[in-house]
Amino acid sequence: MLKLGFGLLLAGGLGYWLFEALGLEGFSAGIAAEALLVVVVLVWTSSYLFRVVTGRMTYMQQRRRYRSGYDELTAQQLQERFDAMTPEQQQALMASIAEEESSQATD
């Protein structure tokens, strides 16, 4: 955070120097540099808020990739365990699931 603040301070100084080099004098160059910094900060903040609202943040993307990989691995492991059961155990499990689904549907 300290680096970001220092970077903005440096950008303001460079902006002031740039506007002075373009012909604006002291006070006007300062106002122009400040206005440019305000616009940059507002654009950066609005882009961040847009990514938050749309869910395109890096963390959210990583979380979605992790979750899809986890779901795929879990489904594969469950399928392997189901295939390792005897046909009688498979039928008993399926009957148990059907019974549980019907009891939840009536509740």
What is d(CA 63, CA 29) in angstroms, rounded to the nearest whole number?
Answer: 45
Query: How far apart are the two ends of the chain, measured CA to CA in Å?
Result: 53
DSSP string, 15-30: HHHHHHHTT--HHHHH
- Contact assessment for residue 37 and residue 4, using Cβ atoms and an 8 Å cutoff: no
What is d(CA 73, CA 57) in angstroms, rounded to the nearest whole number?
Answer: 25
What global pTM score does this model have? Answer: 0.52
Question: What pLDDT digit, counting tens, does each position of 86-98 carry?
Answer: 999 999 999 999 9
Q: Which residue has the tokens 């961040």?
A: 48
Per-residue pLDDT band for 7 (boundaries 50, 70, 90) equals confident
Reduced to 3 DSSP states, what percent helix, strand and coil does the chain have, rounded to the nearest 5?
A: 90, 0, 10
Per-residue pLDDT band for 107 (boundaries 50, 70, 90) equals low
Positive or negative torsion for Cα 45, 1, 15, 38? positive
